[in-house]
Structure 1
Amino acid sequence: MAQDDYDSPWKEAIEEMLPDFMAFYFPDAWQSIDWTKSHRFLDQELRKIVPESNTGQRVVDKLVEVALVGGGATVPSTA
């Protein structure tokens, strides 16, 4: 029996609405991010370090690099 996929729509929504997602779920982190700078998703990089799943399906969380207010960068991950 196939399992329902509830994870992928959330991940697509996060990609489309990252600032809103961060503001709602992580308001303190949202304030630390410089939203005038671009961000980039690092899913391929994360996928390289995630081991193969025994079930045959690999589910990778979202990984995004953002610029911080005051300079610097960080890579917070979101599910």
Structure 2
Amino acid sequence: MLEVLREGVCHFRNTYSAHRNVGEYKSVPRLDEGFKVAACYFDFLVEKFGPWAGHQPFLSEYADTHKKITLNKLKT
């Protein structure tokens, strides 16, 4: 398990991080699970404090918007 994680991290570093090779892009190992946890917590806070703070986008909405922007910048 640890070796698979290490290989995934190294692949991400060597292709996407180092060379911004979008064609070979794979998600960062274990980041998807971490994002789901963060999104649950963030969305809970948005729902609880929304009436006082005004409407804020949920984390997945925010991430989708910025993912498109980032991918467009990397392709140029």
Q: Do both proteins adopt the same fold according to a TM-score greater than 0.5, normalized to the shorter chain?
A: no
Higher strand proportion: 1
Q: TM-score, normalised by structure 1?
A: 0.29
- Determine which structure has more spread, i.e. the larger CA radius of gyration: 2
